[in-house]
Structure 1
Amino acid sequence: MGTLRRTVAGLAAALLAALAVCVPANPAYAVPTAREVRAAPATTDEVYTALGIDEVAAGYVVLIDVSGSMRDGGRYEQVKRSLRAFLAALAPDDRVTLVTFADSARVVHDGPPGRSPDRLLAKLPRTADGRYTDIGAAIEASVRQLSRAGTPQIATVVMLTDGRHDPPTGSPYPFEQGYSWKQLAASVRSLKKTALSAYAVPLTGSTGAPLLATVYPGARILAPTSINRLGAQLEQPKAAARAAKARSLLGTDATRGVEVVWPAGTGRLGAGPTRLQVRLRSTTTKVPLVVGRLAVRSDRPDLRVTVPDGPIELPPGGSATVPVTVDWDPGPRRVAPLSTVTVDTTLTLTGEVTSSWSDVLTGPLGLSFAPPLDGGVTKGTLSAQRGSLRWWTAGAVALLVLIAVAAVARRRRLHPHLTGTLDVRTPDGEERRLPLAGRRVALTADSAGLPGYGEVTANRASVGSAAIRLVIRYSRDGTTTGREVGTCGPGETVELAGAAFSWHAAEQVGDGRVASVLGPSR
């Protein structure tokens, strides 16, 4: 019975192992982390510093009225003081051209602003003493300077005047319109500049400042202001030039955004939760982006998708990985052992893309900034095995276990243990008594005094039979071909190959003692 118990235990262990294979383990996922930062709005100076606008050269042509009327109210001295602050703020790589005009126009400086604005202002006349105000000649000088090779692609013209156009005799611009003015306007249109702006600053209520707009399209005529506010007025062309530098550096960044890169595993999803690592990649080269309000929609009600909502900061050209959990319920199990449920789905990732630079881009730079989120839509296939294969497998294994147990029990029933003793008379007449035990006893010279070889086993005719007979196989020469087979019941004698065998079977009696059933006496 101990052997039977061990056999059943081994088969049960095999059943449990088979069930373990059928039941999938829960996968462990490493959750990728994305840098979640809520960036504070950047200031204009911070954006300009990040872009490096001081490394971009801009050209400034400043037209300064030096007619005698500029002495009234100390206007000329105030102009020089305001220009001092204006020139001090220019970048080292900028180029500045100072043009004075009255009876004619004269370039007093053309080159970098240098480190000392006073050095440039020293080149201006000590006093304004011109008799005329030839605004046409001044504008012509600005056009001539901007037409020279090597001048910066970003250019700004600033004109400061307190009088109307009053040219001397012989000027090409005797009136405020005419052929010469048209030629100047045509020359401006032929300039190949990335950004060109012009500003006229009237220093009194009635001046010829509007003439600048007849040559430079889009020129701004600033409102007349008191002379002590001239510095504030000069901030406008300077700010416009810096903004033009920034726009030139940004290129197409204002139209770029974030690209969504879905992992390769999205095309085939299984039942239960699946963790996808979705990458957000910035396509900008200068502008940092922030992605917030992330969400994923599905076109299937049995599919639940979750994603952290951010915000996630993306440096220019950088990327971050966000975990998207897809949890699909494919429905109940089916009776068939193999039954696959396969459906198609569409996942749509949405979000709001902004930037800490947004206020500067849409404000001082005047750009339209609405960065897109591209690639948020992906198609996938949901597939799951909903058959009852593991239960069928478990049932089959259980059935095999039962069959094996029954086979072992039947074999043991049909081939019981040997009991009692076997009297052996050798061909030479020698007699020995051989005790029987176990399920097989060998007949050898040592055990039974027989030459050759033989075996003794017990056998029942059927599972339900109580009668047991010995099956004796004996060969005098030990070969298989010379072996003889015979059966022997309790108390019977069988002769095989010259040897005689008599079985004295033992059986249990009521009081637990062993009685012996003896064969016929010889």
Structure 2
Amino acid sequence: MTHHPVRRLARGVAVAGLAALALAVPLSAPASADDSREDIFRRLQADQVPADYVVLVDTSSSMATSNLYGGVRATLGSFLGGLSPSDHVALFTFDEDAVPRYIGPAGNTSRMLAELPATATGSSTDIGRAIEQAVGELERPGAAAVASVVLITDGAHSPASSSDYPQSTGPAWSTLKARAAKLKATSVKGYALPLSGESGASLLGSVVRGTTVLDPSAVAQLGAYLDRSKTGARLGKAKVLLAADQGKGVTATWEAPATADLTGRDAPVTLTLRSDTTHTPLTVTGLSASIADGPQVTGDLPDRVDLAPGEARTFPLALRWDRDPLPIPFRDSDTSNGPLALIGQVTAPWAKALSPDIDLRTRATVAGDPRTVTVTSTVGTWTAQAIAAAAAALVLMLLALILYLRKRAPQSGTLVAVSPMTGQEVARFPLRGRLTRFGGPPLTGEGTVVARRVPRQDTNTDGVEYEITFRRLDRTDTTTLPSRGSVLLGGMAFEHQPPPEPIPARR
């Protein structure tokens, strides 16, 4: 392999790494689904990611025909001048051998062009040797993760007899292909630009996978085709930056007490949404927070949350438990032990513009472990329960009294005690109120009378009957006395006499 002083000089150039650029790049404005790839590359500052450009230019004598070589030189000036200062350029010419003309950082276009020969005078076209130099350049320590190999030629592979690549195939080509497959660069693209129909430029594709064979019909179109390699390199730079974001999304975390009493008050909780990406902005929609088994999560969650890379946003919420009170305000406690859960859809505004070349594979839903909270809530109070119980007892007592009073009718008329032996009246007692006590001389005994309502019938037109309890000596007897009727009880006859009918007033 032929070495050149320029190559030795290039070995000393330190390449600032991707590591510095792997830090998140702050967005100057919110990302939008309408961002173009150019917008995305600018936001990513993709041009600051170093890329390797290896340019192989045919200088065989056929390139002098119709001033092909002069047109290539002129076009290369514009192409090389448009590279980023962080890019690394290796410029080779090839004919019977491949000669490095410039190896170093981009930016010094005039020097690069000055190193090119003024005319194309080579006697052979060794494309194999040129590709070998390109592979060797990309094998160097510190090579960039993104690389483009551009091959420009107008002829078929026609090497000198001493070439290691005498044919278009063979062991040397297989070895070269194996070396290219082991390159550490994550993105290596080849661009073959044949300037004639019989060109061997397509041989680049046999070594570098993913080679695109472009077909400019004239040197004037060469610049536009060369720009494709820059576009491909920028996409490769974006891939390098976004690789760490693939499969990432948004994580939710909760700040909440382990236990909370929600009786008559809310318990504050905090939701934090954090973007897990380094470079990719994310959007969360359809947010909904909940907790199982009765309680609710209250507060304002926006319909849309835009998160810059690595950004976290916090939302104050609250736990509430609106339990329906019991019909009677008895004290009642309930406990719920459930997880705080969140639903939300996550999208990447850049996904459409980057597809299909870069698939971000953003997690579609918000991730995060639910926070389990034990909450209690009490309705009613002991005081209310006591008052309610007392009120219920009072109502029951009133109902019992009403029933009692409805059953115990007011008494009227007179209870007459008659000797059953003589038929003579012994005593009489007026019946008043709902309980009448009677007894004393000349009646040898005492008792009580209560009245109760009964259905009216022919034998009892008043609808009242009297229950008489009579105690005489050591014996107590009870019986029922119909209104206007008589009974024998405890050796004494008792009869009921109704009150006298009122005398009509004289007119």
Letter in 2 for 1:81: A
Contact 1:173–1:181 (8 Å) recurs in 2: yes
Alignment partners' CA distance in 1, 2:216 and 2:362:
34
Aligned to 1:86: 79
Aligned to 1:61: 54
Aligned to 2:155: 163
**1:375 to 2:348 alignment:** no
Aligned to 2:482: none
Contact 1:39–1:313 (8 Å) recurs in 2: no
Contact 1:37–1:311 (8 Å) recurs in 2: no
**1:147 to 2:147 alignment:** no
TM-superposed CA distance for 1:107, in Å, is 0.9
**1:137 to 2:129 alignment:** yes
Letter in 2 for 1:351: G
What value does the CA root-mean-square deviation take over the aligned residues? 3.3
Aligned to 1:293: 286
Q: Give the counterpart of 1:105 among 95, 98, 119.
A: 98
Contact 1:295–1:306 (8 Å) recurs in 2: no
TM-superposed CA distance for 1:251, in Å, is 4.0
Alignment partners' CA distance in 2, 1:133 and 1:178:
17
Give TM-score scaled by structure 2 length. Answer: 0.63
Q: How does 1:293-312 map to 2 (within 5 A)?
A: 293-296=286-289, 303=296, 307-312=300-305
TM-superposed CA distance for 1:385, in Å, is 0.8
Closer, same or farther: CA 376–41 of 1 in aligned 2, 3 Å: farther
Q: How does 1:419-438 map to 2 (within 5 A)?
A: none
Aligned to 2:213: 221
TM-superposed CA distance for 1:269, in Å, is 6.5
TM-superposed CA distance for 1:225, in Å, is 4.3
Q: Give the counterpart of 2:306 among 306, 313, 336.
A: 313
Give SS of 1:176's match: coil
TM-superposed CA distance for 1:110, in Å, is 0.8
Alignment partners' CA distance in 1, 2:360 and 2:330:
63
Contact 2:33–2:352 (8 Å) recurs in 1: no
Alignment partners' CA distance in 1, 2:295 and 2:271:
21
TM-superposed CA distance for 1:310, in Å, is 3.0
Q: How does 1:509-520 map to 2 (within 5 A)?
A: none
Deviations 1:272-305 (A, max 9, x none): 7665331111222222222222223565577576
Deviations 1:90-109 (A, max 9, x none): 12222111111122211111
Give SS of 1:122's match: helix
**1:386 to 2:393 alignment:** no
Aligned to 2:111: 119
Letter in 1 for 2:135: V
Alignment partners' CA distance in 1, 2:387 and 2:74:
97
Give SS of 1:210's match: helix
**1:71 to 2:52 alignment:** no
Q: How does 1:372-521 map to 2 (within 5 A)?
A: 372-375=365-368, 377-392=370-385
Aligned to 2:437: none
Contact 1:297–1:348 (8 Å) recurs in 2: yes
Letter in 1 for 2:350: W
Give SS of 2:129's match: helix
Deviations 1:392-413 (A, max 9, x none): 4778999xxxxxxxxxxxxxxx
Letter in 1 for 2:90: T
Closer, same or farther: CA 205–378 of 1 in aligned 2, 3 Å: farther
Aligned to 1:237: 229
Runs of 5+ consecutive residues of structure 1 not aligned to the other structure: 1-35, 399-522
Alignment partners' CA distance in 2, 1:267 and 1:388:
21
Contact 1:86–1:231 (8 Å) recurs in 2: yes
Give TM-score scaled by structure 1 length. Answer: 0.61
**1:194 to 2:186 alignment:** yes
Alignment partners' CA distance in 1, 2:193 and 2:374:
68
Closer, same or farther: CA 387–364 of 1 in aligned 2, 3 Å: same
359-368 or 275-284: bigger deviation: 359-368
Q: Give the counterpart of 2:168 among 176, 179, 190.
A: 176
Aligned to 1:353: 346
Alignment partners' CA distance in 2, 1:290 and 1:73:
56
Deviations 1:456-494 (A, max 9, x none): xxxxxxxxxxxxxxxxxxxxxxxxxxxxxxxxxxxxxxx
Closer, same or farther: CA 326–225 of 1 in aligned 2, 3 Å: farther
Letter in 2 for 1:343: S
Letter in 2 for 1:294: L
TM-superposed CA distance for 1:78, in Å, is 2.7
Closer, same or farther: CA 57–186 of 1 in aligned 2, 3 Å: same
TM-superposed CA distance for 1:111, in Å, is 0.9
Alignment partners' CA distance in 1, 2:255 and 2:184:
47
Q: How does 1:200-215 map to 2 (within 5 A)?
A: 200-215=192-207
Give SS of 1:241's match: helix
Contact 1:337–1:389 (8 Å) recurs in 2: yes
**1:278 to 2:271 alignment:** yes
Deviations 1:370-409 (A, max 9, x none): 46411274444442112442414778999xxxxxxxxxxx
Contact 2:33–2:350 (8 Å) recurs in 1: no
Alignment partners' CA distance in 2, 1:394 and 1:74:
111
367-376 or 152-161: bigger deviation: 367-376
Letter in 2 for 1:196: V
Deviations 1:41-60 (A, max 9, x none): 43434433443334332211
Give SS of 2:118's match: coil
